[in-house]
Amino acid sequence: MITTLLSNLHSLSSPIVPFDFQQDSFVWLDLSVDNQEIFNFPINEEALLDEYIQATLVKNKVAIGVGGYNEEREFYKLSTNFHTTDTPRSIHLGIDIWAAALTPVLAVLDGKVHSFANNNHFGDYGATIILQHDFEGLTFHTLYGHLSFESLDNLYEGKIIKAGEQIATFGVPKENGNWSPHLHFQIVVDMEGKKGDYYGVAPKNARGHYLHNCPNPNLLLQIPSPNLLTMLYD
């Protein structure tokens, strides 16, 4: 089963950013519908969300925030970019790592470039890289979104990537879909024919399908979490 494989692959994995989540301080950010502080933030007022995130990091005296898998996020419902199905998309399928622009992004596992693109729409991924991984007869993919434009330089499909190799940097808002600088990291088992893009936010009425196809990235990253067990979806 893919969830077991991902957990076992942690021993072969590299940190996704040059930061020791096991030793250094960081904060888990709640951007869900349960967080009344941001409930009414419209997505096209990105400065409000950025201000909230930066204030939370300062309050906790840390440089990095983490969170997001399987969160229902209200602010997506206010953007036409996430109204691409009968039900507005609001279920976040990856883990976000919030840090300074140009933070290096490292490949978590050995693999090859599956595809890449600049998804250049408001609220979208911006520059995106997708790697393909083959272990123990199973194939899955890792998606890295909200990158800098330069991260797409010198890429080609099939390029071999080694775990720990720097493949990108965090993009600034004008390059990353107009978000506060962060990395969206997602596991996708079946790309369903897509290249350079895959839903990072799912419609609520298809939550089960997308969570099964996009298992919790923390199975692989194993970032310490006070509620890790409730975040796993098998």
pLDDT at 83: 58
Q: 233 pLDDT exceeds 70?
A: no
pLDDT at 44: 57
Strands 89-92 and 95-98, sheet pairing: unpaired
Q: 77 pLDDT exceeds 70?
A: no
Radius of gyration, alpha carbons of the chain: 16
What are the pLDDT digits (tens) for 55-76? 999 999 999 999 999 999 887 7
Q: Which helix (H) or strand (E) holds 149?
A: none
Q: 209 pLDDT exceeds 50?
A: yes
pLDDT at 228: 41
The Cα-based distances of 15 to 66, 127, 165, 175, 221 in angstroms read 14, 21, 10, 24, 7
Q: 38 pLDDT exceeds 90?
A: no
Residues 6+ apart with CB under 8 A from 95: 66, 67, 68, 69, 184, 185, 186, 216, 217, 218, 221, 223
What are the pLDDT digits (tens) for 104-160? 999 999 999 999 999 998 889 999 999 999 999 999 999 999 999 999 999 999 999
Confidence of residue 164 (pLDDT cuts 50, 70, 90): very high
Helix, coil or strand: residue 24? coil
Q: What is d(CA 130, CA 223) in angstroms, rounded to the nearest whole number?
A: 21
Distance of CA 164 to the CA centre of its chain: 17
Q: 165 pLDDT exceeds 80?
A: yes
Confidence of residue 79 (pLDDT cuts 50, 70, 90): low
pLDDT at 74: 80
Two tokens, residue 174: 């004008």
pLDDT at 8: 96
pLDDT at 234: 31
Residues 6+ apart with CB under 8 A from 112: 131, 132, 158, 159, 160, 161
Average pLDDT over the chain, rounded to an integer: 90
Domains of the chain: 2-224 (2.70.70.10)
Q: Which amino acid is at 121?
A: H
Q: What is d(CA 157, CA 144) in angstroms, rounded to the nearest whole number?
A: 15
- Among 92, 34, 36, 22, residue whose Cα is nearest residue 64: 22
Helix, coil or strand: residue 183? strand
- Is residue 147 within 8 Å of 124, Cβ to Cβ? no
